[in-house]
A and B are shown apart, each in its own frame.
Chain A
Amino acid sequence: GAGVSQSPRYKVAKRGQDVALRCDPISGHVSLFWYQQALGQGPEFLTYFQNEAQLDKSGLPSDRFFAERPEGSVSTLKIQRTQQEDSAVYLCASSLVGTSILQLDTQYFGPGTRLTVL
């Protein structure tokens, strides 16, 4: 079946531009996560949705970062006034259920969007 998809796969932005990154989770998955991965580092958590509710945004690095999932399926991560330090791979992951049922809480990751800010 279809996995998690992300678009675009690559994005080049000039410093100061706004960007929008899209995530299509696996159909029916309740939970959706965004992670940021700098070059040579492990992914770092940004934010978490359970259906349309954003339950944890503790990892968002600044108020320039905004995420939404209005209908509980597709999610968009928006970065305003991009800076060079925003250059990274942005990963989206989804899981079937809410976080209380750990046995079923395997996160399935998309291929990521590589953002380069010039």
Chain B
Amino acid sequence: DAKTTQPTSMDCAEGRAANLPCNHSTISGNEYVYWYRQIHSQGPQYIIHGLKNNETNEMASLIITEDRKSSTLILPHATLRDTAVYYCIVRVEGNTGKLIFGQGTTLQVKP
């Protein structure tokens, strides 16, 4: 599975949009981009995933560049409860399904 690169940490003001970048320059055509987050002392939680089109659900939006070498997770109106470590993961269909987590981005939402 392709490796991802994320900033170590980011801050965001409460109520503002949080934009979390991820680089995956070696991504292959059949690899999906997944985002999970982990709130302190909890297990990781699925947020969203996509292949090449932008995606939106009730939690977030995912913007994937045309060349698919990078993506951005957008939390449109961050709240204090969104403070967590966010993991960008690239997965290929048909493998064992295991998730390969990197270090992630620690997002601190501040009042």
Closest to A110 in B: B43
A31 vs B91: C-alpha distance when bound (angstroms): 16
Total of A-B residue pairs, C-beta within 8 Å? 62
**Size bin of chain B's contact surface:** 20 to 34
Closest to B32 in A: A102
Q: Are B44 and A43 in contact (CB under 8 A)?
A: yes
Q: Knowing A4-B43, A42-B87, A111-B41, say if A99 contacts B94 (CB, 8 Å).
A: yes
A55 within 8 A of B: yes
A59 within 8 A of B: yes
Q: Are A45 and B99 in contact (CB under 8 A)?
A: yes
Q: Are B101 and A99 in contact (CB under 8 A)?
A: no
Residues of B within 8 A of A (CB): 32, 41-46, 85, 87, 91, 93-104
Inter-chain pairs besides A45-B100, A56-B96, A109-B45, 14 sampled, C-beta below 8 Å: A4-B43, A35-B101, A42-B101, A42-B102, A42-B103, A43-B44, A56-B98, A93-B99, A100-B94, A102-B32, A102-B94, A107-B99, A108-B46, A111-B41
Residues of A within 8 A of B (CB): 4, 31, 33, 35, 41-45, 48, 55-56, 59, 91, 93, 95, 98-100, 102, 105-112
- List 23 A-B pairs, Cβ < 8 Å: A4-B43, A31-B97, A33-B97, A35-B101, A42-B101, A42-B104, A43-B101, A45-B98, A59-B98, A91-B43, A91-B44, A93-B44, A93-B99, A95-B97, A100-B93, A106-B46, A107-B44, A107-B97, A108-B46, A109-B44, A110-B43, A111-B42, A112-B43
